[in-house]
Amino acid sequence: MDLKLGGKYKPGKKLGSGAFGEVFVAKETNTDEEVAIKVESNRTKHPQLLHEAKLLKLLKGKGIPELKGAIVEGDYNVMIMTLLGPSLENLLKYCKGKFSLHTTVMFAIQALERIEHVQSCNFLHRDIKPDNFVIGSKKPSLIYMIDFGLAKRFRNPKTGQHIPWKEGKNLTGTARYASLFTHLGYEQARRDDLEGLGYVMLYFLKGKLPWQGLPAKTKKEKYEKIKEKKQNTPIEDLCVKLPKEFAKYLNYCRSLQFEDKPCISDLKRLFKNLLKKKNLEYDFKFDWIKKKTKVPADIGYADSDGEEEPNYRDRLKEILNKK
């Protein structure tokens, strides 16, 4: 791929790829500042990148990647944004497949802040998963929410009118973390991003969710089995041996009606109180910051299909070694 990017940016190594394009490191030719560029073919059936660029501009705020520009060059749509660190999925591997309660709860508070901000801007993310939360390249204690290719406006910003209830929808997002309502084919609303976050928390604490690895011959069969497992696993069983706050959180998410505004401030308080109860401080000392062992050789940049680019190890080492 030979991109000139208007002569302003020089593309470098590939960081990864996913459902909506490929991500590369690039350097600003005048300043040598490193940025990330996301590239998709504009011949693709459903181009997403320019839509995502508009959203980043609208959602500007703490923990949201800064949009530096979006251009069309030849057969490609290109978005230039802040270069960020590795995803929480990769950091989980770095921390041997599980996060501590301390790290998971501090993550939850920041993730709730990101979801609250996005919803205050009248949008749903619709693909909450560990790959879509990353750390800052200069501040590894700051968690960013990324990849807004599936985001959708749920409320008219002028009138405040909520989108209508619909049934029979195809699953949008990642089945492992999708809400039960999403599996049932209901139009997504604010409650669904929150339920997905609940599953991410359990995945971090336990290392695996009960519906992972179910045998299936087709994607349709796999989705059906995941849905059945979620329906048939009581929340109390799902959260067994964990502090009661996690079951309380998921029960709250499941209790919300379609148009309900979640009380995210109460949810953040729930987890802040859990830290106090466990004599833990909200000190931003995440597992990946405290851990000073060698970065495993197989860690890279994971895309939405689970494939990795091992050359991302160097950036992880660089970020984690910064004071």
pLDDT tens per residue across span 182-210: 999 999 999 999 999 999 999 999 999 99
Give CA–CA dist 66/111, Å, rounded: 17
Alpha carbons within 13 A on the beta-carbon side of 68: 17
Q: What is the pTM of this model?
A: 0.90
300 Cβ neighbours under 8 A, 6+ residues apart: 16, 90, 308, 309, 310, 311, 312, 313
- Predicted confidence band at 7 (pLDDT cuts at 50, 70, 90)? confident
**Cβ atoms of 174 and 87 closer than 8 Å:** no
- Predicted confidence band at 318 (pLDDT cuts at 50, 70, 90)? low
**Cβ atoms of 314 and 293 closer than 8 Å:** no
Give me the amino acid identity at 49: L
pLDDT digits over 245-280, tens only?
999 999 999 999 999 999 999 999 999 999 999 999
Closest CA to 289 of 132, 133, 103: 103
Q: Inter-axis angle of helices 264-277 and 101-120, to 10 degrees?
A: 170
Q: What is the distance, to the nearest Å, from the Cα of residue 249 to the centroid of all Cα atoms in its chain?
A: 19
Residue-level pLDDT at 307? 40
Six-digit token pair at 296? 């495993």
pLDDT digits over 66-87, tens only?
999 998 888 889 999 999 999 9
101 Cβ neighbours under 8 A, 6+ residues apart: 205, 243, 278, 280
38 is in an annotated binding site: yes
Residues with active-site annotation: 127
